[in-house]
Amino acid sequence: MALEVMPDQVHLFVKPHPKNSPSYVADQFRGFTSHHLRAEFGHLRSRLPTLWPRPYFVATVGVVSDQMVQRYIETQYERAPTGGGPA
């Protein structure tokens, strides 16, 4: 697993069970983190209608190695523009 949290995005690399679709895994991650972050930080409940925006990007990895994906995710913050936007 690899994880990189940036100001306006999260990159997550996981190996789910083959029966779980990428969108199912993303929905589970979003629901779990939203529930726990709102429980921990009460101000998030009243200030934001939803913690995660509706659109998101999910992809499967087939032709690159796990190590390449992990390295990409781990170096995202280093390559992000200074304006805080997506890399």
* pLDDT, averaged in runs of 10, over the chain (87 residues): 79 87 91 91 82 82 78 71 49
E runs forming strands in the chain: 2-6, 9-13
What is the tally of structural domains in the chain?
A: 1
The candidate with the shortest Cα–Cα distance to 60, out of 21, 9, 7, 11, is 21
CATH of the domain at 32: 3.30.70.1290
The predicted pLDDT at position 87 comes to 44
What is the C-alpha to C-alpha distance for residues 61 and 39, in angstroms, rounded to an integer?
33
The predicted pLDDT at position 80 comes to 57
Domain ranges, residue 48: 2-79
The predicted pLDDT at position 40 comes to 93
pTM tops 0.85: no
The predicted pLDDT at position 82 comes to 53
CA angle (57, 59, 61) in 5-degree steps: 155
The predicted pLDDT at position 85 comes to 46
Cβ proximity of 51 and 45 under 8 Å:
no
How many Cα neighbours within 13 Å face the side chain of 84? 2
The predicted pLDDT at position 28 comes to 93
The predicted pLDDT at position 86 comes to 47
